[in-house]
Amino acid sequence: MPGYEIFGEEERRHINEVLDTGVLFRYEFGEQRKGIHKVREFEEKFAAYTSSTHAQAVTSGSAALKVALMALGIGPGDEVITQGFTFVATWEAILEIGAVPVFAEIDDTLNLDPDDIENKITDKTKCIVPVHMMGAPARIEEIVAIGEKHNIPILEDTAQATGGYLHGRHLGSFGACGTFSFDSVKTLTTGEGGMIITRNADLWRKMSEYHDHGHDHAENPGGRGADGRRFFGSNYRMMELQGAIGLGQLEKLDSLIATQRTNKARLKKILSDIPGVSFRTILDEAGDNASFVTFLLPTADESRRVNEVLRAHDCGAINFSENSWHYYTHWEHLLGEKSVTRSGYPFADVDGRRRIHYDVDALPKTAAILTRTLCYPINVKMDDAHFEKIKKAIVAISA
């Protein structure tokens, strides 16, 4: 799954071009940079790759979510529907901009269940954030239709699904905007970094300004010091070295994903020999970025038994129902309303009154699915010994 496995001449070439200029900042230094604008080039090429018109590079996938939410006008008093199976960054971003995360169930895609969205919509719902978990698409066409019905924008969290698509359309391009993560273990990595794509020029301009302290980026003879400001912003700027790495990775992203698909198919065939096994619903096998292979057993007890055998053979799978970073039930800091602020915000108002509370048992369907679910991450470089180890373990499972 991680792009760092294939660092090579492409990344070095782009990095050396930056180092030759000595300019690490994405703006200004016109003469010194000699026409080298790696972040801008990365944005342009990523937008083209995803068939979008605009892309905004930022410092992380978390920053991408915050900048996108702010550009959509989301803030205090608003509710944002997302899923209870996602990395904590999804709801952290919602809380950080002052809104309230509302958690909905997942379905057999292991992504947001459209049937539960309608149950969670209120007059305070101002955004819906489906997450394309583990490289495969949510039912994004249905979710967009729900958003259009209620006039609620869709923000796609595509952090784990770079390069994935549904019915020929890239994930992240269905909603008002889509966010991506390029951290150290993502399919395309820049170490840290993120991107937001959109077809809405006004939305992109807001993101461009907000991520750079409010600079309006209008051309003027006074340079950055004379830029105007339509609103306040913050600093989520990607630097040139990250843009350079991103360009090198993007050049080989499709071949990387093709290799992952080959490895996933090989492993899935091996796992098919587990008695009673089934596999996650993938809406478009050709569009899966193949960063994980996910399989389910008939019961939670059987899932535990199978994984005990796999662990005994030194090839244990991931059980996300035991994971404290991706599963609602184990987010003790959220459920326990733990905050670093004296007031307890965002869980409490400044007057001490509770503003958010979550029930640990609020998502029974999600729990029923995840307790039966196991998965393996797929790497680019997977040797025969790894596959053989799993194959031997499965023989023991069936014994």
Q: Do domains 3-252 and 254-398 have the same CATH topology?
A: no
How many C-beta atoms lie closer than 10 Å to residue 163's C-beta? 25
Q: Which of 1, 140, 158 is nearest to 86 (CA)?
A: 158
| Amino acid 1: pLDDT | 59
CATH for 254-398 (3.90.1150.10, 3.20.20.70, 3.40.50.11440, 1.10.1740.10) = 3.90.1150.10
Full-model pTM? 0.96
Distance CA 275, CA 102 (A): 37
The structure tokens 């596959």 sit at 387
| Amino acid 220: pLDDT | 79
Q: Which CATH class is domain 3-252?
A: alpha beta
| Amino acid 36: pLDDT | 97
Query: Can you read off the two tokens belonging to residue 201?
Result: 């020029």
Q: Which amino acid is at 105?
A: E
Sign of the alpha-carbon torsion through 326, 331, 333, 334: positive
Q: CA 36, 37, 39, 42: dihedral to nearest 10 degrees?
A: -80
Which sequence spans correspond to the domains of the chain?
3-252, 254-398
β-strand 169-170 against 177-181: which pairing, if any?
A: unpaired
Contact 356, 100 (CB under 8 A): yes
Distance CA 29, CA 95 (A): 37
| Amino acid 223: pLDDT | 84
- pLDDT per position in the chain (399 positions), as tens? 588 899 999 999 999 999 999 999 999 998 999 999 999 999 999 999 999 999 999 999 999 999 999 999 999 999 999 999 999 999 999 999 999 999 999 999 999 999 999 999 999 999 999 999 999 999 999 999 999 999 999 999 999 999 999 999 999 999 999 999 999 999 999 999 999 999 999 999 999 999 999 999 988 777 888 899 999 999 999 999 999 999 999 999 999 999 999 999 999 999 999 999 999 999 999 999 999 999 999 999 999 999 999 999 999 999 999 999 999 999 999 999 999 999 999 999 888 889 899 999 999 999 999 999 999 999 999 999 999 999 999 999 987
Q: Which of 316, 309, 325 is nearest to 375 (CA)?
A: 316
Query: Which residues are identified as catalytic?
Result: 186
Counting every residue written for the chain, the total comes to 399
Q: Which of 82, 85, 39 is nearest to 241 (CA)?
A: 39
Distance of CA 383 to CAs 318, 332, 378, 386, 387, Å?
20, 38, 12, 6, 7
Contact 281, 330 (CB under 8 A): no
Distance CA 61, CA 195 (A): 7
Query: Can you read off the two tokens belonging to residue 210?
Result: 């907000």
Contact 234, 97 (CB under 8 A): no
